[in-house]
Amino acid sequence: MEKKPFNAFEMAQQQFDGVAEKLGLDPAVRDLLRNPLREYHFLIPIRMDDGGYKVFPGYRVQHNDARGPCKGGIRFHPHETVDTVRALAMWMTWKTAVVDIPLGGGKGGVICDPHNLSDREQEALCRGWVRQVAKNVGHEQDVPAPDVMTHGQHMLWMLDEFEKIHGAKYPGFITGKPVGMGGSLGRTEATGYGVMFTVREAMKELGLDISKTLAAFQGFGNVSQYAARLYRQFGGTIICVSCWDQAEKTTFTFRRTKGIDPDELIGITNKFGTIDKAKAKALGYESLPGDAWIEQEADLLVPAALENQISGANVGKISKRVKVIAEGANGPTTPEADKVIADRGIFMIPDFLCNAGGVTCSYFEQVQNNMNYYWGLEEVLSRLDEKMTSAFKAVSDLARKKNAYMREAAYMIAISRVAEAVHRRGWV
């Protein structure tokens, strides 16, 4: 029988259904939470640099706002689909709930490849996206942020368009803005650092000395670069990093078993997270196939690229040495692979807990925007550590108490909080 193509939304619903059943959720609450509340699908026509026009499909999905305005990034990716955006929006609802910040879940996307778009064309796309949803997003409704292949400059163009339309200043409309333009110190580091705060706690629980551990990373973009930096500061040794190479249209793993200095590697990585192969070779890195990261003799695996990366097809390649998997990416592990990982007793730090540092810092950014007063870096990072550590502990305590897998425990906490909010509001 032919295998069905991977569908992130079906996977998110499958994960939800399993836990909803265990929690004995009311059928109406289930119907409400397993689907997005609202979706916007639109087209964004852009005048290209060559004088011609192109039309790009765009989305904003608002999964749930019972606990506060929807919150979630905007992804620019050629393989984006509305179902991926739906899944990511749903995971955002669980993410804001598990770290207990007063926000809901949403996500946006544009099907485009920024590798092939000039800055001017990307600016036009950002402004066009905002024009399509300007009445349906905002600091009290739905707050966008960066995600794969979008960053601070994109957020600033979007903010500028939103403020032009509404004729006033609304710095809290969007987060991930550049520092000095309403952005928060620490936002760039937040997701990757948050990943490592949870890894530090997991290793403490397992009685592992982090400084004696080895790690393999998949992806070398925003999340991975900062996670790698903090891991090294904690004394851990990174043995390999994989990335997508746009020129060769394939992935590579760069390995140096004696240890990788993330700053050195960042120095030869472009803004899309692609490591320069020739320069890596000159610096003594071995270049291996893209999926080699998963089979390394490491204690820690950090998938921090995209969804559907650890599947039934490659989960068997994970080495016996691996003790912790920290999901920097959203949805990197399919349910089939997840079951194998759970059965093997590998400590899983599930995506919506592990990478919640970004949205937590985005929330801090909004708080600072509201006060119009900005915190120093130390203050932001120590608040982030506190939030991530307490969320991790709540999940791991529940996992221990119920003898549950970490993903299941995280879902139990998040879904219960959102279910309580919809119930108390009298929605169902």
Using CB under 6 A as the criterion, which residues of the chain lie in contact with ligand NAD when the complex forms? 146-149, 191, 218-224, 242-244, 251, 273-274, 290, 304-306, 328-330, 355, 358
Nearer to ligand NAD, 29 or 97 (CB): 97
Whole-angstrom CA distances from 26 to 13, 33, 247, 414 are 16, 11, 51, 16
DSSP letter string, 282-330? HTT-EEEEGGGGGGSS-SEEEE-S-SS-B-TTTGGGS-TT--EEE--SS
Catalytic residue, from 71, 95, 107, 387: name it: 107
The residue number with the shortest CB distance to ligand NAD is 221
For residue 110, report the phi and psi dihedrals to the nearest 5 degrees. Answer: -135, 130
Nearer to ligand NAD, 20 or 358 (CB): 358
Distance CA 242, CA 256 (A): 12
Q: How far is the CB of 135 from ligand NAD (least distance, A)?
A: 26
Largest CA distance in the chain: 63
Tokens in use for 246?
Answer: 């746009």
Strand partners, 337: none
Q: How far is the CB of 88 from ligand NAD (least distance, A)?
A: 6
The answer to whether the CB of 325 falls within 8 A of the CB of 349 is yes
Q: How far is the CB of 423 from ligand NAD (least distance, A)?
A: 28
Nearer to ligand NAD, 150 or 213 (CB): 150
Q: How far is the CB of 222 from ligand NAD (least distance, A)?
A: 4
276 three-state secondary structure:
coil
Nearer to ligand NAD, 68 or 273 (CB): 273
Q: How far is the CB of 173 from ligand NAD (least distance, A)?
A: 18
The answer to whether the CB of 16 falls within 8 A of the CB of 33 is yes
Helices within 182-221 (DSSP H only)? 187-206
Distance CA 27, CA 280 (A): 54
Nearer to ligand NAD, 305 or 341 (CB): 305
Q: Does the active-site annotation cover 317? A: no
Burial-class residue 31 by CB neighbours within 10 Å (0-12, 13-18, 19+).
Answer: exposed
Q: How far is the CB of 411 from ligand NAD (least distance, A)?
A: 17
The answer to whether the CB of 318 falls within 8 A of the CB of 294 is yes
Active site residues: 107
